[in-house]
Amino acid sequence: MRIFAATNCDACCQVGRRCWAIVLFVSVMVLVPTAFTPLVCAQDKDEKPKPRTIELVTKDGKRLRAFYFPSEKGKAAKTVLLVHEWKGQASPYAKLVVALRDAGCAVLVPDYRGHGGSREQINSKGKKAEMDTSKMSRRDIENIIKYDLEKAKSFLKGENDEESLNLNAMVVIGVGEGCVMAAHWAARDWNWPTVGRIKQGRDVKGLVFISPTKQAKGVPIDPIFSGRSVLLQLPIMVVSGADSPNAEDAERIAKRIEASKKKSQRGGEVKGFEYKRYNTALMNASLVKDIPAVIPAITKFIDTEVKVSDTRNPWISRE
């Protein structure tokens, strides 16, 4: 296991031509209030595939807003699904998503039900109403896992069959309570059997947990890593702030994963596990945005641990 510490540093960028300075000034003025919107609407200077906002409709009728950043690598692109924290949303993760896209990944970030652009839903009376997170329960967490994340994968499956990404090389990033949902959904994905020649699941090939918590609305993360869980065979990264409110949860989860992996690997140096603990009280989106070392560490982990070739995690049609 590798453990690292880091401190904040400032980043800066320069624009050479006056015309680009004007364009960037306008973009920044728009970016502040609307977060992801300019990233989705703007044409990249290097002509990368355009990101877009999409709507996902779940089997139980919920309409979800999601942001999709395609890769220029086509079916050689690793796939990343990001599951944000409770009472969070997709937009604060713009920097991470762009970095992953620039590293060659295709990235999908949904606002799951009751959050961000997915707060407003049609109620039992057929009228629009905002979901109240304070009234949401364990059942809602289970529905996010069962319906929202499954619908996200359904969208990615379509992109896979258009040869726009490689679904067989998927990494799921969870943040805060999103780690619980990510872990449960990954386990669910690995329970889908292959039917004949049609691959239905077993696509998750790596997990990243940022500021993980031990439970979400009563749904615990622990059972996913107990016994002979298949998830322990996957590369797993844990990222946390050493002085953050959930540092204790993150530490306990990291140690449990490390111990379970060590046992399954029968001793020696643990492979496929990395724990990065930064000297900060920041957590969740703030940890990602404001600690400069976090995003490069995540992109490096995915690049190093999840390989794509003709023999390792090859592209497979789902049609």
CA-CA distance, 252 to 164, in Å (whole number)?
A: 38
* pLDDT tens-digit readout, 240-287: 999 999 999 999 999 999 999 998 888 788 999 999 999 999 999 999
Check whether 140 has a pLDDT greater than 80: yes
Check whether 6 has a pLDDT greater than 50: no
Q: 271-274: which pairs have CB atoms within 8 A and are 24 or more residues apart?
A: 272/233, 272/234, 272/235, 272/236, 272/305, 273/1, 273/235, 273/236, 273/237, 274/1, 274/2, 274/236, 274/237, 274/238, 274/301
Tell me whether residue 73 is in a domain: yes
* pLDDT tens-digit readout, 96-119: 999 999 999 999 999 999 999 998
pLDDT band with cut points at 50, 70 and 90 for residue 121: confident
pLDDT for position 193: 76
Sign of the dihedral defined by the CA atoms of residues 169, 42, 35, 25, in that order:
positive
Count of domains observed in the chain: 1
Mean pLDDT in residue range 158-169: 98
Tell me whether residue 19 is in a domain: no
Tell me whether residue 235 is in a domain: yes
Tell me whether residue 311 is in a domain: no
- Which of the pair, 1 or 181, is modelled with greater confidence? 181
- Domain with 292, as residue range(s), is 48-305
- Which of the pair, 232 or 4, is modelled with greater confidence? 232
Tell me whether residue 192 is in a domain: yes
Tell me whether residue 173 is in a domain: yes
- Which of the pair, 38 or 141, is modelled with greater confidence? 141
pLDDT for position 35: 53
Check whether 131 has a pLDDT greater than 70: yes
* pLDDT tens-digit readout, 11-50: 443 434 344 333 333 343 344 334 555 445 544 455 778 9
Tell me whether residue 113 is in a domain: yes
The CB-side HSE value for 297 (13 A sphere, CA atoms) comes to 26
- CB proximity list for 119: less than 8 A, separation 6 or greater: 130, 131
CATH number at residue 83: 3.40.50.1820
